[in-house]
Amino acid sequence: MIVTALVDNSRLEDRPDLGVERGLAIHLKTMGKQILFDAGSGQTFCDNAAKLNIRIQDIDAVAISHRHHDHCNGVSHFIDRNTTAPVYFRSCKSQDYRFKTFGFSSNVGIDKGLLDTMLFDKGLSDKDLPGKKNTQLELIQDDTEILPNIFLLTNINQQYPQPKGNQYLYTESEHGCQLDNFDHELMMVVKEDDGLVVFTGCAHNGVLNMVDTAVTCFPNTRIKAVIGGFHLVGLPVFNSIGGSKEDIRNIGRQLLAYPIDKLYTGHCTGMKAFGLLKEVLGDKLEHLPTGRRVEV
């Protein structure tokens, strides 16, 4: 498998031509297929893909990890360039997503205009939804094999606590405002002949819970790599950590108990937390900035 970070919070030092944003988009090529996992918040991942010799038109499927804007709003730019690949979201009720702290509140959710352009019920015709087009949207409720040996998992184990940084993230609906339980999040597992590769998005359900889910679904199988954000940042504007230093180190120690060869992370992990994990995980852990390409 070849994995390329199309957009992340930072970039390779020798690629100043690549754009960055607080978002995530990862391209992978495996078993004759090309997958986009998350799409950032805008067009940046498309621009970077062209500079990295990746054709958006050749992508076979898109998986969106959750409904925060920095992972999904770029879908509008994807469907402008690729009109055939299915785009998978986890099915959930309609709601708004907010970041709230110290009296400050901001919308961190998906652009509802994007959803308005996508036809949810494939049984409806264009005349039933005037002005809307039957696009590639696929909503899934259960674990789903979207292509041979490529799985989207929605039933995520809850053996470990969720990240402490989740305390600032809320949903708003007709039922009021409440802490986000992340029932809109999914993870992806690719099963190759020599093991699994686990993609986490932001891991709001917890990177340990996602790894535990992969081990439960595919027992006695080597995990070649865990790739994505781990949401160990506290307040992003301060690059603080979610919890104490020892909390982060303990996550690293618990990861060592699983059969994982490598972990590649960036985005919402936060560089302070990355350094603490590195103390524990050593060479198992590597940074995945925009433009980095790894063979797993």
Q: Helix count (H) and strand count (E) of the chain?
A: 7, 18
Distance CA 77, CA 232 (A): 29
Residue 122, pLDDT score: 44
Q: Which residue numbers in the chain have pLDDT < 50?
A: 120-132
Given this model, what pLDDT does residue 103 score? 85
The SS3 assignment for 228 reads coil
Q: What is the pLDDT of residue 118?
A: 67
pLDDT for 229: 98
CA distance 203 to 44: 22
What pLDDT does residue 119 have? 54
Contact 264, 294 (CB under 8 A): yes
What is the helix (H) or strand (E) element at residue 261, kind and residue range?
A: strand 260-265
Burial of 16 (0-12, 13-18, 19+ CB in 10 A): exposed
Extents of the domains making up the chain: 2-289
Residue whose structure tokens are 């076979």: 60
Interaxial angle between packed helices 245-256 and 271-281, expressed in degrees from 0 to 180 and rounded to the nearest 10: 50
77 phi and psi, to 5 degrees? Answer: -75, -30
Global pTM exceeds 0.85: yes
Q: Thinking of the domain 2-289, which architecture would CATH place it in?
A: 4-Layer Sandwich (3.60)
Distance CA 199, CA 247 (A): 22
Sheet with 144-147, side-by-side order of all strands: 144-147, 150-153, 187-192, 195-199, 223-227, 260-265, 285-287
